[in-house]
Amino acid sequence: MRAIKTLILFYQCVEIGRCRTIEEIMNANEGFHEIIVQASNNPVMIDIVDCMQSIIYLFRHTVVYYNRPFLIDELENIYKAIKERDGEKTESLMKEHLQSDLDFCIHLFGDGENR
């Protein structure tokens, strides 16, 4: 039953990401990632994410505010991989997603420095 509730929460986060305000999208994005971190039951990951909240917030705000291409599509694909219980695909998609966030922010911040 918990797995079904978790999938529903993932789905809701994706749907909110497609059609709501920036603040709602940021909250849904945070919720999506928090579900994954907590579901990992990995105390090291949980501690690292907890220590990095300021940086994570900056990235989250940047990718949502500047409407990073394919952001919500990536989250939807991660949701689908989780729903299919494909751990390898989920891991791969998460790595690609986080790398895309990083690349986007570096590009955006880098452009600001050259002005």
CATH number reported for the structural domain that contains residue 63 in this entry: 1.20.120
CB 17 within 8 A of CB 72: yes
* pLDDT for residue 26 is more than 70: yes
Calculate the average pLDDT of the chain. Answer: 91
What does the pLDDT read at residue 2?
79
* pLDDT for residue 62 is more than 70: yes
Q: Which domain holds residue 53?
A: 2-113
pTM of the shown model: 0.85
* pLDDT for residue 111 is more than 80: no
What does the pLDDT read at residue 40?
85
CA 26 to chain centre: 10
Pick the closest to residue 68 from 76, 81, 59 (CA basis): 59
The owner of tokens 């790398």 is: 99
What does the pLDDT read at residue 66?
96
How many domains, the chain? 1
Strands (E), 22-112: none
What does the pLDDT read at residue 41?
87
| Residue 29 to residue 92: CA distance in whole angstroms | 18
